[in-house]
Amino acid sequence: MPVFSLPDSPGVGDLGPAAYRFADFLQSAGQTIWQLLPLGPPAKGDSPYSSYSAFAGNPLLISCEQLVADGLLTKQQLADAGHNEHQDGPADYEAARTVKKRLLKAACVEFQRSADAEMRQAFSEFCTCSRHWLDDFARFDALVANLGTPDWSQWPAELVHRERSALQAIDKRLCDEIEIARFEQFVFAKQWSRLKAYANSHNVRIYGDMPIFVAYESVDVWVNQELFCLNESGRPLVVAGVPPDYFSATGQKWGNPLYDWDRLAATHYEWWVQRFRQAFEHFDLLRIDHFRGFESYWEIPVDAPNAIGGEWKAGPRQAPFDAAREALGELPIVAEDLGLITDEVHRLRDELGFPGMRVLQFGFESEHDDYHRPSAWPTHSVAYTGTHDNDTVTGWYQQRQVDGARNGVLQHFLSEESVPVHWQLIRMVLNSAADTAIIPLQDLLGLGSEARLNTPGLPDGNWTWRCPSNYDNSDLAARLREYSESSDRTS
């Protein structure tokens, strides 16, 4: 359940009452894991997998209602900004920005005017502990607004090359904007910590998601240009993506800059260690998106029209994880190992001891390939009806019927005419040997393709689904608990 898909707040879901209500629903349904999509501020197309910071939180997810409870806003300010106009239908990111930009600025002004000593001390400690990323992020955020573009290669040369005198001048000229950005990150971190503590106290662990790559138009690339494959002007030489697979016939050209792994190795992967350290402060479990990129990655010429003309390049394998383990201890990581996966990728995953992912929808594409079929799943794996890149399981099944797809193997498992198909498919996942099972809320609700989160390769129209306000009824919770108990998935 992505945070932005939660109901009852204007524009997009946030860390307010609906998030706590979802944690309550999970507990009542006997569930012990809440998986999220990435929480960073999106850079392009509002995709959570393209963020302009690998460390910052998305200010759109901040709950203004909690800021009222903290005394930094009033209910009248929320009403004046249109915050009380709860909208049905898909997520509206622009509406959220319009409402929250004004309110967060007002909250920052009130914080500076009236915050007590305890809150000021908490802010000071946050800024100190987060200095390794926060100062540059706040500066970048202010510069994007001031210069009108996140493409830092188009900024004045002294800023592109981060000359000290230029940065000092910006810190002085944009001090108010920089302070607002720091304040927003402080509030996000505070609200996130509060929500995670609440979920954990209700026996719910938080399962986060880390994209392997970062956006070119990000503070991470601007600050660490030497760690990426860029030319003298700071532009990418090659970009990331994947070759053609079952998601896309032409592959996917993501456009993210690729890492200079030799340079990273020379730093003992310091940037990655810092990234993992913060991730495990925020999450109890962590999915590494596109794990196969650590074994080998698809390198695409920056001017190629699509991903077909790329080539495989060797990745750093286990080295970044070894560096993180040395600094942090054991890493509760799940490897996203979907797509065109080789034996070498499987060996790397197993050498590191990470479970991989199995997806029911991929298990019935071929009668002879049962790798993703529930009857073949190993214990050390995380199983899904579908992921954020799949259609809903109901939409998938309905499309197979429309297309006349061969359902012989699938129909063998669907024998209970009195039970809705989506519940039969969910029960197949729960009854599998996989030690962890994740069911998207859309599948629990039996929603069709209109509730799909993302269609890979489609640049627009994604990441907009929001769940209905009445999702958490007692019948749904009771049924999910019953199925979890009958499959020995509850303690």
Active site residues: 289, 336, 389
Task: List, in sequence order, the alpha helices (H) in 219-318.
Answer: 219-223, 261-266, 270-282
* DSSP-based three-state secondary structure for 362: helix
Where b means 16+ CB within 10 Å and e means fewer, 197-228 reads eebeeeebbbbbbbbbbbbbbbbbbbbbbebb
User: What are the CA-CA distances from residue 345 to residues 241, 349, 388 (Å)?
Assistant: 17, 6, 22
Nearest C-alpha neighbor of 272 from the set 288, 295, 256: 288
Sheet with strand 311-314: strands edge to edge: 252-257, 238-242, 296-301, 311-314
Q: Strand runs (DSSP E) across 404-490, as ranges? A: 436-438
Helices 393-403 and 421-430 cross at an angle (nearest 10°) of: 120
User: What are the CA-CA distances from residue 179 to residues 15, 67, 382 (Å)?
Assistant: 22, 17, 41
Cα distance between residue 410 and residue 365, in whole Å: 10
Backbone angles phi, psi at 340, to 5 degrees: -85, 95
* DSSP-based three-state secondary structure for 202: coil
User: What are the CA-CA distances from residue 248 to residues 243, 253, 258, 313, 457 (Å)?
Assistant: 8, 10, 21, 21, 7
Q: What is the CA radius of gyration of the chain?
A: 23
Strand partners, 382: 357, 436
Cα distance between residue 445 and residue 394, in whole Å: 9
Nearest C-alpha neighbor of 431 from the set 371, 472, 471, 483: 483
Cα distance between residue 446 and residue 426, in whole Å: 10
What residue type is assigned to position 177 of the chain? E
Nearest C-alpha neighbor of 46 from the set 94, 3, 88, 2: 94
Q: Give percent helix, percent strand, percent coil of the chain, each to the nearest 5.
A: 45, 10, 40
